[in-house]
Amino acid sequence: MSEVTAEPLRLLTRRGCHLCEIVRGPLAEGARERGLTLIEYDVDEDPGLNHEYGQRVPVLLAGSRILAEGRFDPLGALPAASTRLTDR
């Protein structure tokens, strides 16, 4: 039997990032309303994330797919995420 679940979303941020502050609240609320899981990561805590995404935050990911980065409409980025389903 196969259970279909939405992939967790990852929000890559860093302390002191003005754009990160702008998208954080609306993304968390929108994800919660859509039944999506949103996990926030500070790129400065992970050298690999910092190397790949450090100059691009905030970045919203579903798996390895970039849904949005930099200056973006947080609620506009979520519908694309809600259609990303994975069979487990």
Asked if 80 and 69 touch (Cβ cutoff 8 Å), the reply is: no
Report d(CA 23, CA 82) in Å as an integer.
17
Q: pLDDT 10s digit of each residue in the chain, 88 long?
A: 333 446 799 999 999 999 999 999 999 999 999 889 999 999 999 999 999 999 999 999 998 999 999 999 999 998 655 565 443 4
Q: Taking the model in full, what pTM does it have?
A: 0.84
Question: Which residues, in sequence order, are CB contacts of 4 under 8 Å at separation 6+?
Answer: 85, 86, 87, 88
Give just the sign of the alpha carbon dihedral 3, 9, 10, 16: negative
Per-domain residue ranges of the chain: 16-70
